[in-house]
Amino acid sequence: MTRLFDPIEIRGLSIKNRLWVAPMCQYMSHTNDGKVQPWHEVNYGVLARGGAGLAMVEATGVLPEGRITPRCLGLWSDDQIAGLSRIADFAHSNGAKIGIQLNHAGRKASTYEMFPNVAAGSVPISEGGWSTIAPSAVAFDNFYEPSIATVDEMDRIVEAFRAAAARATAAGFDVIEIHSAHGYLLHELLSPISNRRDDEYGGSLENRARLHRRILRSIKADQPEAVIFVRISASEWVEDGFDVDETVKVSTWFAQDGADLIDISSGGNVPVAPIPVRPSYQVPLAQAVKANSPIPVGVAGLITQASQAESILTTGQADVICIGREALRDPQFAHKWAKELRADSNVVPAPLWRGYL
Ligand SMILES: Cc1cc2nc3c(=O)[nH]c(=O)nc-3n(C[C@H](O)[C@H](O)[C@H](O)COP(=O)(O)O)c2cc1C
């Protein structure tokens, strides 16, 4: 038995291993209505049959204006449930658990998709873009200057997360992940770089984390059994940014409010930052959070090999490994890693079995 292929139980949800697929935007809702397309079904289907214990569906807008791009998935309306249900059902029929990352993109909404040969930056309103809101009127890079979110808009956003989480559960998802990383609205609130407010949502860390806590409590009140993760950029890699010490503090609060796992990432709120990109570069951040966390901690970031992932777990630096780009290159990575580590806990789906003899 390896640690990586040990099951993990989180609030009664039993997940067959600790090797998961990280959320990755596909920008393939090309009808611009946030609905699942065949691409999503195939993409998440292949990932779900690839051996990972859990696959996380990409950043999904809780409101139309909360999408990163016009082509992102959404869950602001009941008619978006059916397509996501098909993804959840297929994952379950292959023994995988499935999560969905709920997002409001704040000042980084209404951008072009990150595809080759596509312009970067804000999509003009004439091309289907929209004006953005953020904690403060501080633009990211050369994106649109956002308008300042009012307190009423904060209330609306809490309700949008609650309602989207209810729809995710109706669609059959096992896990709801709140996106507070990569420079989107909830990260913008945490960071003093993007949050210059002087009301109850700005200033102290308590205030900067207020919306997160309201969202968590509102989902929890609505769905006491929901399994909720929070993805956090635990460092902005610049002086005066939101940092790992603050991440440790807010993680403890989020656990009190009902979060079941902290998913560690970094960066995304500062256009140019000296990020020390190298294998496992976010693991020290996860380790610091795990040392103080009452709930499990996951980590992503240039983890591309079975032995590397296994040793992060056996040295106690994280509880779960999330794989991004390696899963794009090779959706069967988890089966291959199980074979390499001689794990006996992972059963390859019958139609793939002869490839693993
Ligand atoms: C194509 C692509 C899309 C991504 N979309 C998301 C996303 O929707 N939500 C998110 O939190 N992170 C997103 N990420 C970041 C990944 O989840 C992951 O944290 C990052 O790629 C680092 O892990 P890796 O080195 O294993 O790729 C994306 C990454 C890629 C490559």
What share of the chain in percent tops pLDDT 90?
95
Closest ligand 1 atom, residue 22 Cα: 17
- Does 69 contact ligand 1 (Cβ within 6 A)? no
Give me the number of domains the chain comprises.
1
Residue 205, H or E segment: helix 205-208
Listed residue (343, 260, 337) closest to 9, CA to CA? 260
For 304, counting Cβ atoms within 10 Å of its Cβ (0-12 exposed, 13-18 middle, 19+ buried), the class is middle
* pLDDT of residue 345 exceeding 60: no
Cα(34) to centroid of ligand 1, in Å? Answer: 19
The answer to whether residue 158 is domain-embedded is yes
Cα(151) to centroid of ligand 1, in Å? Answer: 31
The answer to whether residue 1 is domain-embedded is no
The answer to whether residue 63 is domain-embedded is yes
pTM of the predicted structure, to 2 decimals: 0.98
- Does 231 contact ligand 1 (Cβ within 6 A)? yes
Report the distance separating Cα 104 and Cα 63, nearest Å: 7
The answer to whether residue 165 is domain-embedded is yes
Closest ligand 1 atom, residue 322 Cα: 26
Q: First vs last Cα of the chain: how many Å apart?
A: 19
- Mean pLDDT check: name the lowest of 33-42, 287-296, 322-331, 342-351: 342-351
Closest ligand 1 atom, residue 303 Cα: 26
Report the distance separating Cα 149 and Cα 65, nearest Å: 12
The answer to whether residue 74 is domain-embedded is yes
Angle between helices 283-292 and 244-256 (to 10 degrees): 50
**Residue 292 sits in a domain of what CATH number?**
3.20.20.70
Q: What is the mean pLDDT of the chain?
A: 96
Nearest CA to ligand 1 atom 21: 324
- Does 302 contact ligand 1 (Cβ within 6 A)? yes
Report the distance separating Cα 18 and Cα 296, nearest Å: 11
Nearest CA to ligand 1 atom 26: 324
pLDDT band at 344 (very low <50, low <70, confident <90, very high): low
Q: What is the pLDDT of residue 350?
A: 87
* pLDDT of residue 130 exceeding 60: yes
Residue 253's domain comprises: 8-356
- DSSP readout, 304-344? --HHHHHHHHHTTS-SEEEE-HHHHH-TTHHHHHHHHTT-S
- Does 324 contact ligand 1 (Cβ within 6 A)? yes
The answer to whether residue 2 is domain-embedded is no
Report the distance separating Cα 247 and Cα 242, nearest Å: 8
* pLDDT of residue 346 exceeding 60: no
Closest ligand 1 atom, residue 181 Cα: 11
Q: What is the pLDDT of residue 342?
A: 85
CB 264 within 8 A of CB 318: yes
- Mean pLDDT check: name the lowest of 183-192, 233-242, 341-350: 341-350
Q: What is the pLDDT of residues 217-268, one digit of tens each?
A: 999 999 999 999 999 999 999 999 999 999 999 999 999 999 999 999 999 9
The answer to whether residue 98 is domain-embedded is yes
Question: Mean pLDDT over residues 121-128, rounded?
Answer: 96
The answer to whether residue 184 is domain-embedded is yes
